[in-house]
Amino acid sequence: MIVAGCDVGSLTAKTVIMKNNEILAAQVVRAKSHPEESAREVMDKALEQAGLVIDEIAFCVGTGYGRTSIPFAKMVESEIACHGRGAQWQMPSVRMVIDIGGQDAKAIRLDDKGNVIRYVYNDKCASGTGRFLEVMADALNIDLTEMGAVSLTSQNPISISNQCVIFAETEIVSLVNEGKDIADIVSGLHNALAHRVAALAKGIELQEDIVMTGGVAKNVGMFTALEKALGKKIKNIGRDPQINGAIGAAIFAAERLRN
């Protein structure tokens, strides 16, 4: 039985196709202006990768910010539920998922079956989300994907005093003008974001094992900064951390078919 999960976020769209509890295909694309377009494009790419056509998908679950606009989803699930299921399927020992997306951050506590016990999220303030790093990468004129590597050579991370993205951006510009080391600035930014996200996660009591998902989890600098801020190890989920929600959606699709 072939099932799919489609996660249409604010910045990227992801699709995972599964058969008999195995991943056949997984794709990530940048979001288009309409969520419907993003959904079609990412699904087409995944189908192509799996060598399938849409009619062969027995059930598809949609999730993410744009979930109600996915034309081929037979059911929608919340991102929180999908992240829980996805993480538990990938690593059964997981009890906490920290997901940092382009426009939000969430911390989710799970039971041993991947059901959500408690969660907290922030989508009100851009500081504490992936957008923080995006704005700062722009201000530093470096690529977002380079930030992790850049931070690794830092000797003395600079402490960023402003929390607000708007104020921190000005602070970064003056740090650059003062001739401060870019690696130290980037490392300071990672610590600042990690601090915000850790405060969020601590609000629901930390539980191990912890995994990090979402695009920001690809940033090695953030990974270590968050470990430091939490005072706990974070397990590497193994697969692309951006597809966790789509995996969870596909698991829900399979469960739905079984019942």
Partner 1 sequence: MIVAGCDVGSLTAKAVIMNGSILGYAVIKAKSKPEESAAEVMNKALEKAGLKMEDISYCVGTGYGRSKIPFVNLTMSEIACHGKGAQWIMPSVRTVIDIGGQDCKAMRLDKDGNILKFSTNDKCAAGTGRFLEVMAKLLGVSLDELGTISENAKDPLSLSSTCTVWVQAEVIHHLNSKKPVEDIAAAINRAMAIRVGILAKQVSAEKDICMSGGVAKNKGVVSHLEKVLGVKIKKLKYDPQIVGAIGAAIIAGEKAKGGNMS
* Interacting residue ranges for partner 1, rule: CB under 8 A: 103, 124-126, 131, 135, 163-167
Task: Tell me the closest approach of the beta carbon of residue 65 to partner 1, in angstroms.
Answer: 13
CB of 22 to partner 1, least distance (A): 38
Contact 209, 93 (CB under 8 A): yes
- Comparing CB distances to partner 1, the nearer of 103 and 207 is 103
What's the min distance (Å) between Cβ of 184 and partner 1? 22
Q: Is the Cβ of residue 78 or residue 103 nearer to partner 1 in the bound state?
A: 103
Q: Sheet holding 59-63: strands in order across?
A: 22-30, 12-19, 2-8, 59-63, 75-76
Distance CA 244, CA 87 (A): 6
Q: How far is the CB of 174 from partner 1 (least distance, A)?
A: 9
Q: Which residues pair with 253 in a beta bridge?
A: none
3-state secondary structure of 63: strand
Closer to partner 1 by Cβ: residue 131 or 195: 131
| Closer to partner 1 by Cβ: residue 32 or 228 | 32
CB of 171 to partner 1, least distance (A): 11
* Per-residue b or e along 109-119, where b marks 16 or more CB atoms closer than 10 Å to that residue's CB: bbeeebebeeb
Cβ atoms 64, 72 nearer than 8 A = no
CB atoms inside a 10 Å sphere around CB 71? 11
Min dist CB 245 to partner 1, Å, is: 21
Rounded to 5, what percent of the chain is helix, strand, coil?
45, 20, 35
Q: Which is nearer to partner 1, 46 or 165 (CB)?
A: 165
Q: Which is nearer to partner 1, 135 or 254 (CB)?
A: 135
Identity of the residue, 165 or 217, whose beta carbon is nearer to partner 1 in the bound complex: 165
Listed in sequence order, the DSSP H helices in the chain are 35-50, 79-90, 130-140, 147-151, 165-177, 182-202, 220-230, 244-258
Q: Which residues pair with 120 in a beta bridge?
A: 107
Q: How far is the CB of 124 from partner 1 (least distance, A)?
A: 6
Rounded to an integer, what distance in angstroms lies between the CA atom of residue 95 and that of residue 27? 26
